[in-house]
């Protein structure tokens, strides 16, 4: 029998706030971080809305000499990791043999873009000597390893918008196998660069105003940024050291659509959800809440709703389903981790965060999406869904520890 895996620490930074408490306070009252895109006022971007980390001063968290080595996405993951490790009651010295698995969809885009601007726009012939180690996709995981003294397995995992959930799933498998007792896992992304925004603009999936998942008048997703981190431990290890157990990762489910690079498959999503239930030994009726992928695009929301109905049958009508992307935006490779933190807080507090900006249900969107206002509910089991471009799906089952 596999070893149960406990969540003992939470860390988060997003457009909603710079720590878990600020994020949860906003989520619990349905407050949205989505506003006008800032920092690109003199550009030709058509992107109007964003969920950016506001009032962020990197120098308050990092020494100037350190900042030269840290892309924005690496800064975010270090801030979230510090909080999660402290929340778990661990010191860096406790983490020597642990693992660090960090998901990212974009990696060091800020660094890449600054470099290309110097070379191609400004016609410079030299770039920063640390451009490679600053911008490489594995930089965030390496920085976590170095700051926390982690000498066990350490790497980056990239599967677009499912990166965080895949990273957590990989960490769970390592703990179950006995390879490590403790893992720092999650995801980070900082997609607000001109080139990346132009690329998203070309996809024509961005909302011109706000994010309205599952609503009839939804117009697309709104990009966000930030990082989410959880400290995972074997239950035995957590109990032995007297740790506070926030929740359990009771099951993981992964699948691939093998069909289309951008158009999601309800069958693939359903397969991942069913796999998570099977892994957790849960029946559909045991689950009370699903933190949906819920991007606010036409294709995702109907496909995800169909997948939920396929897996849960008649019980789907009793589920509470919400998309917190309506508040913190779609943080791409960080989204699943931010949503996992929200799901753990929901379990602990007995409160279901709402789907903000909801108007009326869209065609094919016929579940209880907890519109606008949080709902009190003491419950035991939830799913957190991540479905990525390329048909890459990862679902986590999260359970209360009793």
Contact 239, 226 (CB under 8 A): no
Degrees, nearest 5: CA angle 377-220-117:
120
Rg over alpha carbons for the chain, rounded to the nearest Å, is 20
Reduced DSSP (H G I as helix, E B as strand, rest coil) percent helix, strand, coil of the chain, to 5: 40, 20, 40
Label residue 261 exposed, middle or buried (CB < 10 Å: 0-12, 13-18, 19+): exposed
Among the listed residues 161, 211, 345, 365, the single catalytic one is 161
The beta strand positions in 205-329, using DSSP E, are 226-234, 247-256, 289-291, 320-322
Among the listed residues 18, 73, 237, 293, the single catalytic one is 293
- DSSP code string of 84-99: HHHHTT--GGGGTT-E
Cα 191 to Cα 187: distance, rounded to the nearest angstrom:
13
Among the listed residues 330, 345, 381, 401, the single catalytic one is 330
Cα 261 to Cα 283: distance, rounded to the nearest angstrom:
31
Q: Active site includes 18? A: no
Bridge partner residues of 232 (DSSP): 7, 183
Bridge partner residues of 49 (DSSP): 36
Order of all β-strands in the sheet with 182-189: 154-157, 99-103, 182-189, 226-234, 5-14, 247-256, 392-399, 381-388, 289-291, 320-322
> CA 115, 117, 120, 125 torsion: positive or negative?
negative
Q: Active site includes 128? A: no
Q: Active site includes 293? A: yes
Report the catalytic residues: 161, 293, 330
């Amino acid at each position: 029998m596999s070893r149960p895996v406990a969540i003992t620490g939470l860390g988060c930074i997003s457009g909603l706030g710079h720590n878990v408490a600020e994020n949860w306070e906003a989520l619990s009252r349905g407050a949205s971080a989505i506003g006008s895109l800032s920092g690109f006022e003199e550009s030709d971007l058509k992107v109007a809305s964003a969920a950016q980390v506001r009032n962020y001063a990197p120098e308050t968290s990092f020494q100037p000499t350190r900042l030269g080595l840290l892309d924005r996405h690496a800064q975010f993951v270090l801030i979230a990791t510090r909080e999660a490790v402290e929340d778990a009651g661990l010191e860096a010295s406790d983490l020597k043999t642990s693992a660090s698995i960090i998901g990212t969809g974009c990696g060091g885009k800020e660094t890449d873009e600054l470099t290309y601007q110097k070379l191609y726009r400004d016609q410079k012939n030299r770039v920063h000597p640390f451009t490679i180690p600053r911008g490489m996709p594995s930089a965030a995981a390496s920085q976590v390893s170095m700051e926390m003294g982690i000498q066990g397995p350490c790497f980056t995992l990239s599967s677009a918008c499912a990166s965080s959930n895949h990273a957590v799933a990989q960490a769970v498998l390592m703990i179950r196998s006995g390879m490590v007792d403790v893992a720092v896992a999650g995801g980070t992304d900082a997609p607000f660069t001109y080139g990346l925004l132009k690329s998203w603009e070309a996809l024509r999936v961005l909302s011109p105003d706000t994010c309205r998942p599952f609503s009839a008048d939804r117009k697309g997703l709104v990009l966000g940024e930030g990082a989410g981190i959880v400290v995972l431990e074997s239950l035995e290890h957590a109990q032995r050291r007297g740790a506070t157990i926030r929740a359990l990762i009771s099951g993981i489910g992964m699948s691939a659509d093998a069909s289309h690079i951008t158009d999601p498959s309800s069958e693939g999503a359903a397969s991942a959800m069913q796999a998570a239930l099977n892994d957790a030994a849960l029946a559909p009726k045991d689950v009370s809440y699903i933190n949906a992928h819920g991007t606010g695009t036409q294709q995702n929301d109907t496909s995800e709703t169909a997948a939920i109905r396929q897996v849960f049958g008649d019980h789907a009508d009793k589920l509470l389903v919400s998309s917190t992307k309506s508040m913190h935006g779609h943080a791409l490779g960080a989204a699943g981790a931010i949503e996992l933190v929200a799901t753990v807080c929901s379990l602990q507090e007995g409160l279901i965060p709402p789907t903000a900006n909801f108007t009326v249900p869209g065609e094919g969107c016929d579940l209880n999406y907890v519109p606008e206002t949080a709902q009190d509910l003491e419950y035991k089991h939830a799913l957190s869904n991540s479905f990525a471009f390329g048909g890459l799906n990862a679902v986590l089952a999260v359970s209360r520890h009793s």
